[in-house]
Chains A and B, each alone.
Chain A
Amino acid sequence: MSNNSILVIGGGFSGLTAALEAAEVGHEVFIVEKMPYLGGRVAQLKHYFPKLCPPSCGLEINFQRIKNNPRVKFFTMAEVVSVSGGPGNYEVKIKIKPRYVNNNCTACDKCVEVCPVERDSDFDFNLDKTKAIYRPHLMSFPMRYVIDDQVCEGTACAKCVEACEYQAIDLEEKEKEITLNVGSLMVATGWVPYDVKKLIHLGGGQISNVITNMQMERLAAPAGPTDGKIQRPSDGAEPKRIAFVQCAGSRDQNHLDYCSYICCMASLKHCTYIREQYPDAEVVVYYIDLRAPGRYEKFLHKIEQDEKVLMVKGKVAKIEEEVDTGDVIVTAEDIMGGVKKEEKFNLVVLATGMQPSVAVEESILDVPKDDHGFIIGGEEKGVFAVGCAKMPLDVMTSAETATGAALKAIQTVRR
């Protein structure tokens, strides 16, 4: 008799979808998420394209679905350490890292007031700081604080322990291991932004006013580091001329040898963020091809109507900083115009691509991957890759693959 339960590795949008769709058919589902919260990448986005609606809206519904469904169980700060057995009968060992904050936490924020240590906020792509004890983010689910043990001074300090009226903090919490028996696995480990520091010619990670598309999301987000105001990191100035560099690292044999699918649409969406705040700002988008498939075309058409957004077909060769002003000089070829020229901008956004998480992080899963790290098999073992673990995709298509894979996982456990 096959085990009826399903394990979902990754609690981002694909993982949540995969888990909930299977659970709402009636199966027990476990979600294993390495971050202290569920929601993954989309929790960092201000809006979705093309509808310009907030991802937190769909996340909230999915969290309600979890709350109302006893068949869904989830573990945050958790990672799979071993998988044994076979389809219908897997034994999976999960390592749960200490959060140091237990479920007594009421999110009252008193600990943060007394914590003396600061850290760069990875959630905000280092555009902001949090204390060593922090709320993962404003809509964190679970709404429970967490301690970064890389920077926390531990029991030597313990000011937070003193400040907490609810005995929610245990600085001596230890790592735990649990074992789950499941019939099938879905891998929804998602993606990481391509390491911008590798894009030396584009000033990635070196020029302060050259930011990534994901940093743009945080800058524009109401609960982001600037309360939603898009400004230059170097001096907080309002940008008047902004450039988007498409395929930054993507479609490039030296970096990511594929198209990352979402970056054209993401930059077009960012044009709307800019326009909302700065009606007069000028925007130039340097692209190879504008990839707005299906009904996304209508969104491209809408942005093209904006007279202050200029689309230039051409690859950016070089990006340099103008030291005195903090401005950024972009050298690009305008292919249609047949000229190469330098242009000055206040802010440059690199449309960096997506890399599968399993390509840059250790993974114990024994499944075939392509040269880039995308998972290209495993079905015969009852292991199903979904969303961006499988290929670069947008949210809508990720949700489709997750729903489809939920069916395959159910087929596996019902066999």
Chain B
Amino acid sequence: MADKKIGVYICTGCDIGENVNMEKVVEYIEEECSPAVLKQVPFLCGKEGLAQIQNDVENEGINRVCVAACSPRVMWDVFDFGPDVIVDRANIRELAVWSFHDPGLPEPEDDEMSDPLTMMVRDYIKMSVSKLDRILKPEAEPVDLDKTIMILGGGFTGLTAALDAAETGYDVVLVEKEDKLGGFAAKMYKQTPTKHPYEKAEPPFINELISKVEGNDKIKILTKTSLELIKGAPGRYKVTVKQGQEEQQLSIGAVVLATGWKPYDSSKLDNLGYGKIKNVVTNIELETMAKDGKLARPSDGEPVKSAAFIQCAGQRDPEHLPYCSSVCCMVSLKQAGYVREQNDDAMAYIFYKDMRTPGVYESYYRAAQDDPGIFLTKSEIQEVSQGENGKVLVKVTDSLLGEDFEVEVDLLVLATGMVPTISDEPVLKLGYRQGEQIPDLDLFDGFADSNYICFPYETRRTGIYAAGCVRQTMSMSTARDDAAGATLKAIQCLESVNRGVSVHPRAGDPTYPKFNMVRCTQCKRCTEECPFGALDDDEKGTPEPNTTRCRRCGTCMGACPERVISFDDYSVSMLNEMIASIEVPDDEEEGGYRMLVLVCENDAYPALDMAAMRMKKWSSYVRFIPIRCLGSVNTQWIAEAMSKGMDGVLLLGCKYGDDYQCHFIKGSELCNRRMDNIGETLERLQVEAERVQQKQISIDEYDQIPKIIDDFIEEIEGYGPNPYKGF
């Protein structure tokens, strides 16, 4: 890139011109920054304003543009002057003019200090110029990669995913530990409805699916095969699998985890007669009996003329599975049909807590209600006992009939639930520094689910996407969509890393962390803290970055005490320069206090914008700097601010804890942990630890912004000015 040539363009529209002393701003910026071009434009985002910038780019060689105007979230698409021009936005409308609250300081002796809004505006512009001075044009690093997709699990979801990937043009390796494909779906007599009008059980279509997979030459099938190790990173995984005694190495690009579920341990359901009464079976056992054409009483092989189903057996129960398995109501309706088709006079009783046939499945429930041989009632099970002649006696209370009653049936079926295969065995076997399993599975009772409602495929291991019942309990028709969804994410990952760009949430970001290993002290903080486990290390503890696992949050940069890590457009030194650009009045009584606020750009920053749009006002002592994530906050920024004499530092970011909202999962939580160290350091310097605080805020809590900021200022004022001010 040619020499940096910075142009500063200050918009005077949208109340800016009327409220800010532009003469003073221009004078100050000329003197402090000496940009190649400095202009005030009445309507910068309009045609003429843009033409002025374009003209300077073409004729004056301006290649870095500071747009001092509205928030970058507004007019986001107009300030584009080609790939060689870097633009930065100094948000002087929302963060200064619109939200400005006059502190009402006494008339100072120094005239320069007399106008807090003007001081604020020139700080934002100077910060932007120093950022433009440091920033490098990001260059992506494309990666040569293997695009083969490995599907773990050959059940319905895995088979569907394999076919989806192959039909989109990708090579697939399908790994199944059993000797046959098909999983639970292959053990079914019938399947619950998967298509309109959702009224009847269907003959299983799993065999058709298996033949399609077996007949597809892009799919390599490995049955009776166990996964031994996944090493490497998206686009270049080296996977070891074992078939019998024979190990194989596979080159894999991305992984779909579809290992499904296993039934809940029914031996824990002895209170419902399981294991004690012969004619008590689980829904899985009943399915096998029906599939084998042997729907008979286990005790004596007599036909089943009546059956009762107990729903939520070992589910929706903190003692067993705290969740609902989503499909058991449907399965029992289907299995009641098995009993009914044996004999016109056969009776099926379904005892439920709530009949859960959500959405379109209501039709299936209604069809069952129309069958006089199926008796359905909400009820509590009081007792299950052995009756006469091999019958099972079920006593229920609180039924819809309004009275307690009992039935004697040939067979009692327990509608047991699903346990994800990944919950207690290391199905994935990742050769990662942070361990072989996806972290934090306990948040979802062992399911490999996402904590984001909006982004169901986000896990903490880039390139590995879960689908089907290992992710959530779900029906086959949902699993069919889910398999396609996870496959798409796997493909998307490959088609991103091959261009050297990030996947979600910074999709398309060409920057990546660069390591200056010369200064690394092997402290291991970056390898331990990365929320995505992107870093491995060697025996000495030197980090080994895996760019294709990285999501570009900058948590590693925040963790590093030695400034080893930086991005082309985001670095410790860049932010230090920006902080150093803030003018701190020597005397707070004249110019007021100064507080630095580091703001998460994903949630807290939009909240600031929205607060300003709602004409909320807050103290003019604060200076905001947007950051990628609180996880990227390096303690040196705080040190820089405090050593410059700023009176406090506030970190505004996402909520953490089990319901975290951080888009990088752990950023705000890690930042909070670092706070403890910062506090100790400050106290050693005889500075109150409370001068640096982190506050959690959601994007919709914009109305709380003025209070958060003003309360912080008030607290700091209570401590008085930073004792190091002026040194």
Contacts and interface: CB of A to CB of B under 8 A. Distances in A.
Interface in A51-87: 51-62, 64-65, 67-69
Interface string B350-370: 000011111111110000000
Contacts of B46: 104, 166-167
A400 B468 CA distance: 11
B311 to A, nearest CB: 11
B492 A108 contact: no
A104 B45 contact: yes
B666 to A, nearest CB: 16
A414 B378 CA distance: 51
Interface string A237-276: 0000000000000010000011111000000000000000
**Most chain B Cβ neighbours within 10 Å, of A17, A258, A261, A297:** A297
A289 interface: yes
Given A25-B491, A65-B507, A138-B613, A405 B661 contact: no
B270 interface: no
A407 B322 contact: no
A279 interface: no
Give chain A's interface residue range (CB within 8 Å of chain B): 35 or more
Interface string A381-415: 00000000001110111011111111110110010
Given A294-B474, A397-B478, A376 B400 contact: no
B196 A60 contact: no
A20 B482 CA distance: 17
B496 to A, nearest CB: 7
Interface stretch (B584-592, B642-650, B694-702): B694-702
28 contacts: A20-B507, A21-B489, A48-B453, A53-B661, A57-B699, A57-B700, A58-B454, A58-B455, A61-B663, A64-B505, A65-B508, A166-B43, A222-B703, A258-B359, A259-B357, A259-B358, A259-B362, A291-B354, A291-B358, A292-B354, A295-B444, A297-B322, A399-B453, A401-B485, A403-B488, A404-B484, A407-B491, A411-B164
Contacts of B480: 404
A52 B196 CA distance: 33
Contacts of A67: 76-77
A14 to B, nearest CB: 11
A48 B325 CA distance: 21
A15 B610 CA distance: 25
A228 interface: yes
Interface stretch (B67-75, B241-249, B564-572, B618-626): B67-75
A26 interface: yes
A390 to B, nearest CB: 9
A396 B456 contact: yes
B13 interface: yes
B659 A293 contact: no
A405 B453 CA distance: 18
Contacts of A400: 456, 478, 481-482, 485
A335 B167 CA distance: 52
Contact of A251 (B169, B362, B491, B613): B362
Contacts of A106: 13-14, 45, 70, 74-75
Nearest to B443: A295
B212 interface: no
A411 B487 CA distance: 12
B632 interface: no
A92 interface: no
B398 to A, nearest CB: 6
A393 B485 CA distance: 16
Contact of B78 (A103, A261, A290, A297): A103
Contacts of B356: 289, 291-293
Nearest to A139: B610
A322 interface: no
B531 to A, nearest CB: 16
**Overall SS of chain B's interface:** loop
A252 B536 CA distance: 57
Interface string B283-327: 000000000000000000000000000000000101000111110
A205 to B, nearest CB: 25
A236 interface: no
B197 interface: yes
Interface string B390-402: 0000000010101
B507 A68 contact: yes
Nearest to A287: B354
Contacts of B663: 61
A275 to B, nearest CB: 16
Contacts of A392: 358-360
B164 A295 contact: no
B688 interface: no
Interface string B473-515: 1100010111111111101100110000001110111000000
A42 to B, nearest CB: 8
A323 interface: no
A222 B454 contact: no
Contacts of A166: 13, 43, 46
A384 B364 CA distance: 24
Contacts of B361: 259
A293 B326 contact: yes
A164 B473 CA distance: 55
Contacts, number: 236
A122 interface: no
Nearest to A386: B481
Given A291-B354, A376-B196, 14 more contacts: A58-B454, A60-B603, A60-B606, A104-B43, A138-B613, A251-B362, A257-B362, A258-B363, A259-B361, A294-B472, A295-B324, A301-B316, A391-B360, A404-B483
B602 interface: yes
Nearest to A377: B196
A295 B445 CA distance: 9
A258 B360 contact: yes
A16 B371 CA distance: 43
A407 B455 contact: no
Interchain residue pairs A-B with the least CB separation, the first 7: A58-B454, A404-B484, A403-B485, A54-B700, A407-B488, A404-B481, A289-B354
Contacts of B363: 258
Given A51-B659, A107-B74, A407-B164, A61 B495 contact: no
**Most chain A Cβ neighbours within 10 Å, of B14, B363, B701:** B14
B326 A294 contact: yes
B595 to A, nearest CB: 25
Contact of A399 (B318, B355, B362, B456): B456
B537 interface: no
Contacts of B323: 294-295, 297-298
Interface in A152-204: 165-167
Nearest to B357: A259
B472 A295 contact: yes
Given A57-B699, A293-B326, A411 B453 contact: no
A248 to B, nearest CB: 15
A374 B505 CA distance: 32
A295 B74 CA distance: 38
A278 interface: no
A336 interface: yes
Contacts of B59: none
A223 interface: yes
Contacts of A64: 505, 602
A54 B655 CA distance: 11
Contacts of B375: none
A143 interface: yes
B167 A411 contact: yes
A295 B358 CA distance: 14
**Most chain B Cβ neighbours within 10 Å, of A13, A289, A370, A391:** A289
Interface string A354-391: 00000000000000001000101000000000000001
B457 interface: yes
Interface string A21-41: 100111000000000000000
A25 B503 CA distance: 10
Contacts of B354: 289-292
A57 B488 contact: no
Given A291-B354, A291-B358, A400-B482, A411 B488 contact: no
